Amino acid sequence: MTSRVSHLSVVYSPEMLADAGESVSPSTRKPGLVAEALRARDWPVHFLPPEPMTLEALYRVHDPAFVDSILSLGRPNGFGNTSETVARSLRHTCGAFHTGAKLALSAGISASLTSGFHHASTARARGFCTFNGLMASAALLLDGGSARRVAILDCDFHYGDGTTAIIDTMRLQDEVLNVSLGANFGRASSSTAYLEAVRQACVEIESFTPDIVFYQAGVDSHIDDPLGGLLTSDELRTRDEIVFGWVRRIGMPLTWNLAGGYQVEADGSIPKVVNLHMNTFEVALRSLGLLVPPPA
């Protein structure tokens, strides 16, 4: 990772937003709210628009008939509906993650304001996930020679089963490592054990010797999340400190995204979710030396 950067690149554009209808997931509108919160804090971040993902890149990891039927509204998306705005946003959200990956390879670190990837498999949309932008980006990096190996550190509360299914279908086990903590931890798990598992995941990934790490920094792991529930706000911050401190120490490029978070208020607002994502950004910026540490 570059030893010194002047700002953090964040990939976002309004084309990533959509209306998912009556859904418990706020992920299709969350990017705009997080972008607004980042601007309000006047932190050293630089917004860049995504390059939309090509159809060919989506066909690389998904069945072409599945991709075409989703985009033509012929079958339900990951929200269980056929929203035109969701379909329109998909190439932008997947492209945003890949744009972030390319930025990380050149600058060392980046973020994309994206969610909704890791449950999507080759020909199935579920769990608020329609296309798997993680695997579409990994395949592009591998095919283009930008990376020999890609590691995914998935700290969303839920298991990234779609990611694993695509890896197995494409026989990419030697090129892509998916470490998804959601496979082994539930609500009744020990938060201490979870944080130790994050540390061990970093060790496992380092031994895999990837060229880049994809970090799913989901905040549905928060103890008050209705679809998650394990870590306190301070423990979530510790999780992020472990990850960003590790990649900074070993010089590993990393891009991260928002992933899950479902603490929706009665009026539909998501201030708790946004604040938890802001904590992740704050930890990242402090790891880069771009924010002065708070007084002891």
Tens digit of each residue's pLDDT (9 = 90 or more) over 119-160: 999 999 999 999 999 999 999 999 999 999 999 999 999 999
Say which residues have a Cβ less than 8 Å from residue 56's Cβ, sequence separation at least 6: none
Q: Total structural domains in the chain?
A: 1
Residue 70 — φ and ψ, nearest 5°?
-65, -50
d(CA 141, CA 61): 13
On whether the CB atoms of residues 139 and 170 are closer than 8 A, the answer is: yes
- pLDDT, one tens digit per residue, over 17-44 is 999 988 899 999 999 999 999 999 989 9
In a domain, 294, yes or no: no
Radius of gyration of the chain measured on its C-alpha atoms: 17
- Predicted TM-score (pTM) of this structure: 0.96
- SS3 state at 3: coil
Buried b / exposed e over 84-102, threshold 16 CB at 10 Å, is: eebbebbbbbbbbbbbbbb
Nearest to 30 by CA among 239, 283, 160, 217: 217
d(CA 291, CA 68): 44
In a domain, 295, yes or no: no
Tell me what pLDDT residue 188 has.
Answer: 79
In a domain, 3, yes or no: no
Residue 230: give its domain's CATH number.
Answer: 3.40.800.20
Q: Which two tokens mark 73?
A: 């509204």
In a domain, 292, yes or no: no
Domain, as residue range, for 199: 8-287
- SS3 state at 190: coil
